[in-house]
Amino acid sequence: MDSIELKNRVKKVTAEVLELEESDIQDGANFASDLGASSLQSIRLVAGFEEEFDIEMDEDKALQIQTVSDAVTFINSYLK
Amino acid sequence: MDNKRKDHPLVNTTEPNLLEETFNYDLPPLIKFDGPIVEYIDGKPVQFDPKSVLTKDIFITDTTFRDGQQARPPYSIEQMVKIYDMLARLGGPNGVIRQTEFFLYTKNDREALDQCRALGHKYPECTGWIRANKGDFRLVKEAGLKETGMLTSCSDFHIFKKMKFKNRQECLDAYCEVVAASFEAGIRPRCHLEDLTRADIDGFVLPFVERLMKMSEQVPEELSVKIRLCDTMGFGISYPGAELPRSIPKLIYKLNQECGVPGSRLEWHGHNDFHKVHVNGGTAWLYGCDAVNTTLFGVGERTGNPPLEGAVIEYISLKGDLCGIDTSMITEIARYMISIGMPIPENYPFVGKHFNTTRAGIHAGGLRQDEQIYNIFDTTKLLGRPPRVAITDKSGVDGIAIWVNEYFGLSGEDRISKIKVHKVAQWVMDQYEKDGRLSTITDEELEAKVKELMPDYYSKYKKSFQSV
């Protein structure tokens, strides 16, 4: 999977969980402070990414991810 | 005035000090003493050594079938036999639960006693309970018992207003006549000093006990009088410096040291009218009274008695060892008692449905990281009761993850992460934020939601779930 497709799918999940428009999600956006994610929504994001990419992430490390671009990098490490 | 201020420099460390010498999670936290206790008695300092409980033969006695039964509908014979059997298993082979007592007045009383003894347990030993009445010894003798309690109430409330004696001498003589009859019948009398904490200690109690001790000199040791200190109205006080007749330390000292009653023949019996019953029992052990008389879950007259299971945990904390006690029986007995209709409050220590339930989400987070943070000791190992969370909108996903893992009985590496319970967590939040719910989510509701929203885990891990 190329990086653009990966990024778009991360943004798709983010938009679904946070009930936003994909076009409003910037690459460097912080899930909590910029996009308004609550603690429960952060967990739903991780679950959404796991389901979307069929991966199992380290819970503690996944929940430390703060931005969309960091999420892309982190998920990519599981796809290699 | 002496300056008592001291410097206390920070002891910096990168490793946590978890005080494991006291808080060994495999046992109830230890009660350790770092010096003697000093009580001023008759103006003079008297030292007590609390560390002596480590080696002394302190023990628990039970009055579930007597005081306990006076506060509830009568047990059936079958129930008494079952409870007796469980008490024996709880107390273990060393007789930590040393004795229990039975009424003897009805056919059912005697049948229950016979069936309990037929189980063949060495402990708890069966004793009787009768009125201070010469004729009642016949019942004790016919029952083949070696020891019986009998009421020898000692406050003027009882002597004059209840029993209508003309004076104290008449009362004392009447009691001693019954004690003599007990000796004659070859039965050890256990004199229950009812209402002791409201009695004239110097004017009646000590002269009476001295007379009992003198009488006991004439009989073999196994018949010597035992004394039960009855705090009938819950007036007893454990605080140092308290006055008689309420001071437990002073009462025990006077009987033990001034009257010469050995600790092995002193037994404390309390009531909970002022919320002091458990600590008062423990206090009795520390000051020279070897036995504490208790009932299961504290059920007894009015506000009840020292809770037996509380005394068991206290015993372990003082001794630093299980001493043969099977603590899992505490939970088994509680389940049985609930099944026969005894209500146990949900927040009751050690056995209530929610005694180790965490409700706050911030606490649940701590519990998830290390259950020792918010659990008093290894309740799973000692009581078969893993720590639980009650689910509300305050529980957080951590709380829900704990609930689900406990529901599935998962531990260690098998535990499901909080990521996997997000659908259940969202449903919980929606209950409060969208539907305006105010009440706690019940176990039954959560069970249904787990089945619906986590079907793969449900079918893989579901086993029977017991909330108490």
Q: Which two tokens stand for residue B224?
A: 């010597």
Q: Which of A17, A40, A46, A50 to mutate to test the interface with B (most CBs of B within 10 A)?
A: A40
Cβ-Cβ contacts under 8 Å, B420 against chain A: 47
Q: What share of chain B in percent tops pLDDT 90?
A: 81
Q: What value does the mean pLDDT of chain B take?
A: 93
Q: Which of B417, B418, B432 to mutate to test the interface with A (most CBs of A within 10 A)?
A: B417
Encode burial over B17-47: b for 16+ CB neighbours within 10 A, e otherwise: eeeeeeeebebbeebeeeeeeebebeeeebe
Nearest C-alpha neighbor of B224 from the set B261, B172, B263, B278:
B261
Cβ B193 vs Cβ B230: under 8 Å: yes
DSSP helix/strand/coil, B175: helix
Could you give phi then psi for residue B288, rounded to 5 degrees? 115, 5
Average pLDDT over residues B60-72: 91
Cβ B344 vs Cβ B351: under 8 Å: yes
* pLDDT of the residue at A70: 96
Which structural domains are found in chain B, ordered by start? 37-339 (3.20.20.70), 359-461 (no CATH)
pLDDT of B359 over the 80 cut: no
Average pLDDT over residues B19-23: 97
* pLDDT of the residue at B332: 97
Cβ-Cβ contacts under 8 Å, A57 against chain B: 419
Q: Which residue would you say has higher pLDDT here, B288 or A2?
A: B288
* pLDDT of the residue at B464: 47
Nearest C-alpha neighbor of B386 from the set B400, B366, B372, B369:
B372
C-alpha–C-alpha distance, residues B444 and B447, integer Å: 5
Cβ B254 vs Cβ B286: under 8 Å: no
* pLDDT of the residue at B132: 81
Cβ B151 vs Cβ B128: under 8 Å: no
DSSP helix/strand/coil, B428: helix
A53 to chain B nearest CA, in Å? 15
Which structural domains are found in chain A, ordered by start? 3-19+26-79 (1.10.1200.10)
Average pLDDT over residues B90-114: 96
Instruction: Decide if A39 and B422 are in contact by the 8 Å CB cutoff.
Output: no
The alpha-carbon radius of gyration of chain A (Å, integer) is 11
* pLDDT of the residue at B392: 86
A44 to chain B nearest CA, in Å? 6
pLDDT band at B467 (very low <50, low <70, confident <90, very high): low
Q: Which of B391, B400, B405, B422 to mutate to test the interface with A (most CBs of A within 10 A)?
A: B422
B374 to chain A nearest CA, in Å? 21
- State the ipTM, two decimals: 0.88
* pLDDT of the residue at A52: 96
List pLDDT tens digits, range B68-90. 888 888 999 999 999 999 999 99
Q: Which two tokens stand for residue B422?
A: 């997000």
Average pLDDT over residues B9-19: 96
Q: What is the DSSP letter of B42?
A: T
Ordered DSSP codes for B310-354: HHHHHHHHHHTS-TT--THHHHHHHHHHHHTT----TT-TTTSTT
- B7, B62, B179, B467 from B460: Cα distances, Å: 59, 45, 67, 21
pLDDT of B151 over the 70 cut: yes
**The residue to which tokens 């019953």 are assigned:** B277
Interface of B with A in 395-454 (CB under 8 A): 396-397, 417-420, 422, 425-426, 429
Cβ B255 vs Cβ B209: under 8 Å: yes
pLDDT band at B360 (very low <50, low <70, confident <90, very high): low
Beta bridge partners of B267: B228, B291
B409 to chain A nearest CA, in Å? 20
Instruction: Decide if B397 and A46 are in contact by the 8 Å CB cutoff.
Output: no
Instruction: Decide if B418 and A44 are in contact by the 8 Å CB cutoff.
Output: no
C-alpha–C-alpha distance, residues B250 and A65, integer Å: 65
C-alpha–C-alpha distance, residues B271 and B280, integer Å: 9
pLDDT band at B421 (very low <50, low <70, confident <90, very high): very high
List pLDDT tens digits, range B432-457. 999 999 888 888 899 999 999 999 98
Ordered DSSP codes for B365-383: HHHHH-GGGT-SS-HHHHH
* pLDDT of the residue at B36: 97
pLDDT band at B463 (very low <50, low <70, confident <90, very high): low
Instruction: Decide if A43 and B429 are in contact by the 8 Å CB cutoff.
Output: no
Nearest C-alpha neighbor of B139 from the set B102, B173, B192, B171:
B102
Residue B130 burial class via C-beta count within 10 angstroms: exposed 0-12, middle 13-18, buried 19 and up: buried
Q: Which residue would you say has higher pLDDT here, B149 or B403?
A: B149
pLDDT band at B8 (very low <50, low <70, confident <90, very high): very high
User: Which range, of B93-102, B364-373, B391-400, averages the lowest pLDDT?
Assistant: B364-373
A20 to chain B nearest CA, in Å? 18
Cβ-Cβ contacts under 8 Å, B362 against chain A: none
Cβ-Cβ contacts under 8 Å, A44 against chain B: 422, 426
pLDDT of B406 over the 90 cut: no
Cβ-Cβ contacts under 8 Å, B419 against chain A: 43, 46-47, 50, 57, 59, 62
